[in-house]
Structure 1
Amino acid sequence: MLALSSLFLVGPMGAGKSTLGRMLADLLDKTFVDSDRVIEERAGADIPWIFDLEGEPGFRVREIQVIDELTRQPDLVLATGGGAVVRPENRAALAGRGIVVYLRTSVPTQLARTSKDRNRPLLQKPDPRQILTDLLAAREPHYTAIADLTVDTDHIHPRALAEQIVQYYLEHHENA
């Protein structure tokens, strides 16, 4: 039986996965890793470039490899990309190898948090609100299906939210 020592954060873009991930890693004395940053480092290019050259399918292949590898590492806080859950391989790796926290957020909050970010290829289209609405409708069932804990990030300070997640982790971690 694999000890569930790692914490995996899932949710849409702008939910706060990277911000909370860093806080959680600090509070739990774990290593923080952002799967999108690992993909960029290995590709030697940013995500928009990967999408331009390989399309979303090419990016997802890279993502499957990185998530499989990272979820096998102990004592990690992993922030995943918003679309990581679309592939069943990723859902299985996340759900089976750690504690999964779904950071739920509303579309208006996502828009406010991502409006100036040009590193999000899926939002570089005419109607970002509709794109985010459609993505959430398609992905939310996957987020909820693999989540051990779901928390809303819209109206709570990140530090308070991190403390809430740490409490859950300590209560449910197999080696706590």
Structure 2
Amino acid sequence: MGQGALLKPVVLVGMMGAGKTAVGTALARMLGVPFVDSDEEIVNAAKMSIAEIFARDGEPFFRARETEVIARLLSDRPAVISTGGGAFLAGANRDLIARHGVSVWLKADLDLLWRRVRHKNTRPLLRTANPKATLAGLLEQRAPVYALAQLAVEAEPALSIEQMAEKVIGTLKAQPGVIGET
């Protein structure tokens, strides 16, 4: 391995399609730590999809569960945590992450995001008449908040998932107190 030991949780933030799950899975494997997806944890606990939770209980209910799950995951042993696209928008979540982990914005431009999400129907926020315009609006609205993340790593279409994970590791190693020597 030779990557060093992860000293605190790494929380991946960013838009749907930025690669949080794919890059996060590779990153966790390279660092020898668990990978957890906060959305998946909520789905497993609720025994229903996020779209169903939104429809049945509303977004505020979902966001409250999301904060509880993120707090629990941060209190566990160091892991790579992928969060839903909206999680980092909540100040409470940003504070929790800053106190107990390190946030990494996987930064991707609209064209790259659109290429990755346009064929998926699992995105409740994109069920609109003009999903690309909706995605553009979300990106414009959320980018200033994602920019508050402690670290940012630019996604590049030419990079493989593994190369992107290596790029994240390089950024983490440059940050004191995140990766220690093994």
Q: 1:24 aligns to what?
A: 27
CA RMSD of aligned residues (A): 1.7
In structure 2, relative to structure 1, the CA distance for the partners of 1:89 and 1:13 (3 Å cut) is same
In structure 2, relative to structure 1, the CA distance for the partners of 1:173 and 1:41 (3 Å cut) is farther
User: Is 1:103 matched up with 2:101?
Assistant: no
Matches within 5 A, 1:10-159: 10-159=13-162
d(CA) in 1 for partners of 2:151, 2:98: 8
In structure 2, relative to structure 1, the CA distance for the partners of 1:106 and 1:171 (3 Å cut) is closer
User: Any idea what SS the aligned residue of 2:148 has?
Assistant: helix
Note the alpha carbon deviations across 1:103-132, whole angstroms, 9 max, x for none: 011222222111222221001111111111
User: Any idea what SS the aligned residue of 1:118 has?
Assistant: coil
Q: CA deviation at 1:54?
A: 1.6
Q: Provide structure 1 residue ranges, at least 5 long, that are not aligned to the other structure.
A: none
TM-score under structure 2 normalisation?
A: 0.89
User: Is 1:160 matched up with 2:174?
Assistant: no
TM-score under structure 1 normalisation?
A: 0.91
Contact 1:86/1:139 (<8 A) preserved: yes
Q: CA deviation at 1:43?
A: 0.5
Contact 2:107/2:152 (<8 A) preserved: no
Contact 1:64/1:90 (<8 A) preserved: yes
d(CA) in 1 for partners of 2:54, 2:157: 29
Note the alpha carbon deviations across 1:130-175, whole angstroms, 9 max, x for none: 1111111121111111232332243422211111211222343526
Q: Which shows bigger deviation, 44-53 or 108-117? A: 108-117
Structure having the higher helix fraction is 1
**Overall identity of the aligned pairs, in %:** 34
d(CA) in 2 for partners of 1:96, 1:138: 25
d(CA) in 1 for partners of 2:7, 2:131: 36
Q: Provide structure 2 residue ranges, at least 5 long, that are not aligned to the other structure.
A: 1-5
User: Any idea what SS the aligned residue of 2:84 has?
Assistant: coil
User: Is 1:6 matched up with 2:9?
Assistant: yes
Which 4+ stretches in 1 moved above 3 angstroms?
none
Q: 2:3 aligns to what?
A: none
